[in-house]
Amino acid sequence: MNSNPPDDWSPADNPYAIALSEANWWRATVTLTVERMHSDDIQVGWFSSRQIDARTLVVALRQLLAAVKLERMALKDLGMDPAVVTALDDAEQRFLDTLPNIKHVRDGLTHFEDWARGMGKFGPQADARKNAEARDVARDFWSFGYDPATDTVTLGPFTISVSAAVPAANALCAAIYAATRAVDQRNAAELRDQVVQALVDATIPCTPSQDPVRVTQGHDTRIWLSLDLSRIPDEEREQLAHHVATAMGRAGLRLTSSTFPHAHDTAERLVAGEALRVERNSL
């Protein structure tokens, strides 16, 4: 089976799926990093491997929030049910409640050129400069490190629980997956309705469990079309299969084989009893 994307593929076509993919990468990074931090420390030049991993952990946790942001934008652009967006928002808030200082710690690391001078443009350093000199602000918001005794990462006054990182990441990824699944389910329902309408317009019977043409949705949310050969006389199978294939083409749909993705003999494959995936033709 060929898994290579078509030449006209773009991540902008399905940003909600890109959000899930990126979230899973960063969740795996969180898991791996925490495992290393809880294992033996290794000296890497002048540096502790745990301290190096602490920095990676902070960035990975913050990137999960970037994945949520992309998912939310995609959901709104798609006009998804507001309840789906609300569920994602609630999951994000639980993540922030568990790791309330993640944004500040990440900002201190990635904008060290400003924080080292007490010149953070937004947030706590900007607020602190209203009542203190930049030099004093820089000192108060510095000293990053991981403490194995308390299993915490600290930057100035901000602390993150390392033991809470993995379950928080897992829960947030689960919420992004649920939102992505909701999009897939809606897309599948719309495609199934389009397939059924195309068959009805072509006067092809497709009533579930009764007629010879079956339109089903798999657990993967893909739509599949097949013939119930037990309901079709041998001499009528080929004609019906061609009729079905023609109806799909007229509706802007195509049938593809999961076994032979480049096969063009879709009618023959239906006659052979294979379930074919229904897809919309590319624009």
Residue numbers in the chain where pLDDT is lower than 70: 1-7, 209, 261, 263, 282-283
The number of CA neighbours under 13 Å toward the Cβ of 186 is 11
Number of CB atoms found within 10 A of residue 42's CB: 12
CA 87 to chain centroid: 15
Beta strand extents in 184-252 (DSSP E only): 213-217, 223-227
Report the alpha-carbon distance of residue 189 to residue 170 in Å, rounded.
Answer: 28
Give residue 1's pLDDT.
39
Here the tokens at position 54 are 């602490």
Give residue 8's pLDDT.
73
Report the alpha-carbon distance of residue 15 to residue 23 in Å, rounded.
Answer: 12
Give residue 194's pLDDT.
95
Report the alpha-carbon distance of residue 196 to residue 238 in Å, rounded.
Answer: 20
Number of CB atoms found within 10 A of residue 102's CB: 23
Closest CA to 63 of 37, 102, 89, 34: 102
Give residue 206's pLDDT.
84
The number of CA neighbours under 13 Å toward the Cβ of 199 is 23
Give residue 140's pLDDT.
94
Beta strand extents in the chain (DSSP E only): 43-44, 47-48, 145-147, 152-155, 158-161, 213-217, 223-227, 253-256, 276-280
Give residue 53's pLDDT.
97
Q: Answer whether 0.95 is exceeded by the pTM.
A: no
Angle between helix 82-98 and 49-77 (nearest 10): 160
